[in-house]
Copies of this chain bind each other. A is one copy, B any other.
């Protein structure tokens, strides 16, 4: 039943270790783990294993290493760069039985979790104790902390609160031989040995397999206010983003939606969005009530000075939810329009957002492709979304060229290929353009040193 690169004896070893019901070798099961949220061709794994404890997880790792079989750890598979596609076959290891919140420490402001804990569940448990775990990737209701850390997931609050890497205080992970490695600490400050938490964040499963993660928590903001500013030109909207930052205001969230996205969202869920608007900015300021009041006034004024005709401030929780529902609808609404949805996350310094928006419009025209643009304008992290159909070969070629053009323009604007989705398979061939061959060589030497047989998520990133 298993793929040629998985020996039956290995499947039996897995079954003896974790229980036969937690080892899947059937074609339908394996197909379910052959793809992820990226628009890339599926690749079948040889088998799928669900360890029930971190001890079992460590022994799965050493079995794979002993047999020289690729090992791909998968949380919820929501990543957008093919990071969990088993490119060279092998074993997909699921973390969905490793879901313990080991500790939430209110005095010392940290949480210790197993990798399979769902992001939103942790955030809710933390909130119950009056604390705050800020990273909120779009997929937070299903994504796992292990996956968030492996991909260094971003989210809507990056501008003020940073991303996943800013909250990882400590990691415990199995090296390729199944030995437990510890980095970081439960203390805010820790400089003992190399900064392994820093190295492991965003390493896409290439350097080790997480068993436990210690996350920093913070006190929550006392209050928040959300608003929506309507613009007749996308240039004015994007210049407003830069003007808000230049005024030394750091909104918790500062999101942009272009006309194409607005119209698509409105037809997806009639929420009364201004479909004639060229662009919307969705903004939330938070903090002490007096600061929120001050910032809200200033932000509204900056929006108006930069040409916004209408600025609506949410008066209650319902109106606030309506604003953020519109933003959350953007991707599902766009994704429904066409069979294939290519979501990019090239990122530029935020003052370059107007130039990047213009570049996207030119690319859309040049390659005759509808591109919906929305995203974390406050971070310079837009999500240009190309709607297409993977079965249309001619169009897919144009899509690929358009994507390459997006990357090229982002790098030329002092930006980066990927702000938060990762390199995975999708962007591996563009990496050299951004960082150069020597940097890729340096990455490869690090990878080879800790995974000499290249079995940890092979074929990705480095």
Give chain A's interface residues, CB within 8 Å of chain B: 105-110, 130-131, 151-152, 154, 158-159, 162-163, 165-166, 175, 179-183, 185-199, 201-203, 206-207, 218-220, 242, 245-246, 248-250, 287-291, 294, 347-351, 376, 379-381, 414-423, 427, 431, 434-436, 438-443, 445-450, 461-462
Contacts and interface: CB of A to CB of B under 8 A. Distances in A.
Contact of A219 (B202, B206, B250): B250
A351 B291 CA distance: 30
Contacts of A287: 287-288, 291
A34 to B, nearest CB: 24
Contacts of A443: 193-194, 196
A431 B191 CA distance: 11
Contacts of A203: 194-195
Given A108-B351, A439-B181, A194 B189 contact: no
Contacts of A461: 193-194
Contact of A416 (B187, B242, B288, B448): B187
Contact of A165 (B198, B291, B462): B198
A105 to B, nearest CB: 7
B445 A187 contact: no
A423 B165 contact: no
Contacts of A195: 152, 165, 198-199, 201-203
Given A194-B203, A196-B443, A442-B450, 14 more contacts: A107-B245, A130-B248, A181-B439, A182-B436, A185-B416, A186-B415, A187-B349, A187-B381, A191-B202, A191-B419, A194-B206, A219-B250, A288-B290, A288-B291
Contacts of A439: 181-183, 193, 196
A446 B208 CA distance: 13
Contact of A218 (B166, B219, B250, B419): B250
A462 B194 CA distance: 8
**Which 7 residue pairs across A and B have the least CB separation, nearest first?**
A198-B198, A290-B290, A449-B449, A189-B419, A288-B291, A219-B248, A107-B351
A440 B187 contact: no
Given A130-B248, A198-B198, A190 B416 contact: yes
24 contacts: A107-B242, A154-B189, A158-B188, A165-B195, A180-B436, A181-B438, A182-B439, A189-B380, A189-B381, A189-B420, A190-B419, A191-B419, A193-B461, A194-B207, A194-B443, A195-B199, A196-B442, A196-B443, A198-B199, A219-B249, A219-B250, A291-B291, A445-B450, A446-B449
B194 A431 contact: no
Contacts of A448: 449
A447 to B, nearest CB: 8
A108 B351 CA distance: 6
Given A190-B419, A351-B107, A442 B381 contact: no
Contacts of A159: 188
A218 B159 CA distance: 11
B442 A175 contact: yes
B187 A435 contact: no
A338 to B, nearest CB: 26
A347 to B, nearest CB: 4
A439 B181 CA distance: 5
A187 B438 contact: no
B187 A419 contact: yes
B349 A182 contact: no
A460 to B, nearest CB: 11
Nearest to A185: B416
A190 to B, nearest CB: 5
Contacts of A445: 449-450
Contact of A166 (B166, B179, B438): B166
A154 B189 CA distance: 7
A180 B350 CA distance: 26
A55 to B, nearest CB: 15
A381 to B, nearest CB: 5
